[in-house]
Structures are given as structure tokens and as C-alpha cells.
Structure 1
Amino acid sequence: MKLNLLPLSFLATLAACHPSTKNSTAAITHPSINTTSTNGGTAPSPGLAIVQNNCAEPIYLWSVGSSVSVEIPVPGGAHYSETFRHDQKTGGVSLKVTRVAHGLYSSAPQTVFAYNVVGDSVWYDLSDVFGDPFKGSSVTLLPSEPVIRWSDGVPPVGSMVRVVGITEDLTLTFC
């Protein structure tokens, strides 16, 4: 199934209209990725980290590396996506998702989709902190082997670390 991706400009407009971002000077920035390899060829284009909201209510997302994006509300039926990127200071990036506005700053329960680009691979992980915001709803992260699927919205015990090739898209779906 091919997802119909929303343009980043639409998401920036949504974020700019959200009360939490009015009069904010913060902006979502996604550093360009160097696609020139050392052998003079062109490296494959990186895939996308996609967060799909199939819940009836909005969810709230922040892209966190060495800086924190503005709060990005993702309405029910919509999604957010960003190209996999390597953060020069932290190495990895985390997409932090809550069910409440301003949740990142109020210690609300968060689901954290973390990834790190290493060469031609993307190492990724899914976890909850401060509680389980999607308890009672399904949470899946695909493709993953073994599959990451929390049918009750609560992570199982054990590691959720996986790896895919840099060109793969990863889709985290709520509800």
C-alpha cells in the first residue's frame, strides 16, 4: 500500500497555526544529507520515518536530535514524515509522540521512535516513557523483523531494536 504523503510545507503550516507555536521563532529544520559517496558515485536516497495517525483524535509529535522541532499536531487520518538523517551532535533522532498538546514539556506519557543512520543502515527502536500513551490501542512499526506490534498499545518486555537498509521507509502506525 502506497501512502499519500503530506508535503512538509503543509505540516509546517499546521504547526504554525497551532496555539503552542504561535509567536514562536522555532522552525522545523531537516539538514541536507550528503549523497556523494567516497568512490565518486551517488549513495542511495534515504528512506522516510513516517508516523501515521489512524486514531480519531490528533496526536502531537516532536522531532528531537541536537535541537527540538516545534510541536507538530497530526490530525486523525493524517501522517508526518521526515527523511532519515544523521544528527551531527547526537548521532540519532527521536520522534516523540504524545496524545496531549504540550506533552513533551509536561512529562506526559510518550511513545518514542528513535533512529540512527549508520552507513547504509538505519538502526531503530520503539519504546514508551512516562507511561503508555496508546494503552488500549494498537501500535505497529513496519517493516520490522521480528514484527513490532503492540496490539494493546503497551510494549512487551525486551529489546525493540531493529535494523533496515537506508533506502527503506519505516511506518509507525497508531490505532
Structure 2
Amino acid sequence: MYFTKAFGLLAAIGTLASAAPTSMNSTTTTTTTTATNSTTTHGTVNTNGGNSGSVNIHNNMKDTIYYWSVSEDAGSMKSLDPGASYTESWRTNPNRGGISIKMAMKPEQVDVLQYEYTLQGDTIFWDLSLIDMGTSSEFTKVGFAVTSNDSGCPSATCAPGDTACADAYLVWNDDHATHGCPAGTQMTLNIGPSA
């Protein structure tokens, strides 16, 4: 959970920076692109704490996935049947850390794939973590990918059989694997081949 501790520290620094006089704060430029019947926002947008972002996890495998949404406690285990989806709206951790959705092929937190996120103001920071997942995991065999409804938001793909996925944390300090998107972003994690 180095990820959550690091973002807790960033949150504290961000709070101090936002309390500084205006002359000490940097100016953020926002670019808005309008497409047919939708508006996509890139950059930091002030939503005054409101957001409608979420992650949708879709099980494209033939087996059940067990998952826990972990904040300051382990959360209760839930299951995701083949073909089913789970949607979690962005939430915050009371201890100022992040949230980790841990997924396993058994009803225990062993050999887990993690989708981790931290809501910080108008930005959702997210990553995939393979730190606690073995290279022979079913998840590795079938592959997985994160996409979003925002073309400016980074995606992440770990192809079937890729045991050294460059788009995910393999060790605790793989900071290149952390991405930031506007808080209203709708993320999708497809596990296994999507239709």
C-alpha cells in the first residue's frame, strides 16, 4: 500500500498548497473539446468536490472472480460471475490514503490483481498493481486492460501471457504506472478478452 501512503502525502501537500495565497498558487489551463452530444474535458477542472466518475470491472473469464474494495479496512468479499460487471463510484479513504480493489481467483486475498485509485480534488489517480500477483496467475494468462470514456486519459493494457507488463506496477516504486485523469472519468477494466 505504498501507493496509498504516497497519495496521502500528496493530499496533505495539496491541502497546504491550496491554503496558500493566490499569488503562490499556479494557474491551470483547461482545454475543453466538444464532440457530438458529449463534452470531454482535459486537465484540471473545478467540480467543487462533485464527480460522477467510476470504474466498471467486467469479468470476461469463464471463472468467478472474488474481489474486495479496500480502504482503511479489508472490506467484505464479493464475487463476480463470468460475464458480470461491478461498478464502483470513486470514493475516498478516511485515512487519506487510496482505495484498492483486490481481485483473486480464490475466495482469499492471494495472488491478487489490484486496481488502485485515489480521488484528489478534481483528479482521479489510478494504477494497476501486479506486485501481489504471481506470473502464473489466471489474470496473466487471459490479459486485462483499462480504458476510459476520455480520449485524453491514459489507458493500460497487459496482453495475455505478459508477465512483465509495462503498464502496471511490478515493484512498489514503478511510479510510471500511475496515471491521472479528470475525476468525472468513467474507467473500464476488462479482465480477459472483451467482446
Q: TM-score range by the shorter chain?
A: 0.5 to 0.7
Structure 1 unmatched runs, 5+: 1-40
Q: Does 1:131 align with 2:131?
A: no
The alignment of Structure 1 onto Structure 2 pairs a total of residues equal to 131
Note closer, same or farther for the CA distance 1:147–1:45 as it changes in structure 2 (3 Å cut).
Answer: closer
TM-score by length of 2: 0.61
Q: Is the 8 A contact 1:138 1:150 kept in 2?
A: yes
Quote the residue 2:37 is aligned against: none
Q: Is the 8 A contact 2:57 2:188 kept in 1?
A: yes
Secondary structure of the residue aligned to 1:91 is coil
Identify the match of residue 145 of structure 2 among 130, 140, 144: 140
Q: Structure 1, residues 45-95: CA drift from partner, whole Å, max 9, x if none?
A: 331122110101110100001012211110000011111011121421000
Note closer, same or farther for the CA distance 1:43–1:127 as it changes in structure 2 (3 Å cut).
Answer: closer
Secondary structure of the residue aligned to 2:140 is coil
Q: Is the 8 A contact 1:127 1:155 kept in 2?
A: no
RMSD of aligned Cα (Å):
2.0
TM-score by length of 1: 0.68
Once the 2 structures are TM-superposed, how far is the Cα of residue 152 of structure 1 from its aligned partner?
Answer: 1.8
Q: Does 1:152 align with 2:160?
A: yes
Structure 2 unmatched runs, 5+: 1-46, 167-173
Secondary structure of the residue aligned to 1:135 is helix
Note closer, same or farther for the CA distance 1:71–1:81 as it changes in structure 2 (3 Å cut).
Answer: same
Note closer, same or farther for the CA distance 1:43–1:65 as it changes in structure 2 (3 Å cut).
Answer: closer
Larger radius of gyration: 2
Quote the Cα distance in structure 2 between the aligned partners of 1:110 and 1:122. 22
